[in-house]
Structure 1
């Protein structure tokens, strides 16, 4: 039985991928990856030019693409069925394949990665290996040119889908923080930053480490469409020697 290997691709720049991930991708003859219907997919774009000519590609297309509250039962039901279907698909392929199946994952597979939903469904049903990667947020805060944390600073990772009150409270109670899942949640995030008194220190980074990277202070940001790969950052100011 073949193995399912999930490789972390890092924040977006192919040169920030691990040597092990690079080797596995270039030698793969079966590659699976998530994408929106009708799109190439970010993971697939990162490895463009790295795949063998005869590779078998296995796109896994999300049934829904709009971020809605996880409490919505319809959303959870559709995604649950989707992940189970894709897990079974990988298992069937592993049972009949003589070579391992590579699954691509942006950032680190175990850090808010979609592969985690497959992982819990594949456990005990197929042999797996996970290759870690540099997180997207690490690529973004490095792009600002400012150290993210100092000394005993506490770093908090927040989701923009959280209620405004929760965001405000968490922003007030930590030294440094990252807000992911920005997109349509940016107005709410900005209100929370204002209430927490953290707006002057906030940065907005889109497509960190990628060719189209944009980095600027949030107070200087001109409203417009917000790319999916956008992160809000506030750096720590802890003790410095």
Structure 2
């Protein structure tokens, strides 16, 4: 009997992987990873030089990324079929072999593997190895603690409606915003409305080669996919 092991690789720097993750990747005979069609895949790039010769690789290429808006029923249908198909393939492989699935960040923190995890229940034994989240790598890159004292940390998706982003940002002590991409102009406006734009930082490719940390108010209008905005908490006062 084999099993499916999803390994959290951390925020991007291979040296920030756990000892356990490193050991599992280096000893794997079967490795699967998500990627956009025609791309190497971020998770696969993190482990360059760690996968041995003769290892069987399984690139899981998304059928759609930004070509269709995520609110379109067709988007959900295509992704549901994609995840179901790969759940079947991994379960079949895990009947006799152990396959390591690579996941940047932490698999259970907005990771694509969650969609496989739910579909693999009852089909295969599954193990998940946690990893340092991308947001942790990014707020550390700013050199300032993200929270103080009794600060409450709020994590938002920039895909939310602008008015909701503004309302939640206004009430937040410390703030992290993910899934930015083409939503950057909307996020700027929302943070400005909430009075938080001046305190916001954007970290591009945190912990990775080409990392850039700057004030969001001074950043370009276009940002890489691997970008996170942080607003540091100031510590709750009575």
Q: TM-score normalized by structure 2?
A: 0.97
Change (3 A) 1:17 1:234: same
RMSD value, Cα: 1.2
Tell me, in whole angstroms, the C-alpha distance in 2 between the residues paired with 1:166 and 1:216: 25
> Unaligned stretches of 5+ in structure 1?
none
1:1-241 equivalent positions in 2, closer than 5 A = 1-66=1-66, 69-97=69-97, 100-223=98-221, 225-239=222-236
43-52 or 71-80, which deviates more? 71-80
SS in 1 for 2:95: helix
1:114-144 C-alpha deviation (Å, 9 max, x unpaired): 0000000001110010000000000000000
Tell me, in whole angstroms, the C-alpha distance in 2 between the residues paired with 1:68 and 1:129: 32
1:193-235 C-alpha deviation (Å, 9 max, x unpaired): 1000001100010000001101011122133x31100111100
- Corresponding pairs, count: 237
Tell me, in whole angstroms, the C-alpha distance in 2 between the residues paired with 1:239 and 1:181: 27
> Unaligned stretches of 5+ in structure 2?
none
Any conservation in 1 of the 2:10–2:16 contact (CA below 8 Å)? yes
Shift in Å, 1:68: 5.6
1:19-77 C-alpha deviation (Å, 9 max, x unpaired): 00000000001000000111110000000000011110000000001176543211100
Q: TM-score normalized by structure 1?
A: 0.96
SS in 1 for 2:137: helix
Change (3 A) 1:165 1:67: farther
Tell me, in whole angstroms, the C-alpha distance in 1 between the residues paired with 2:69 and 2:144: 33
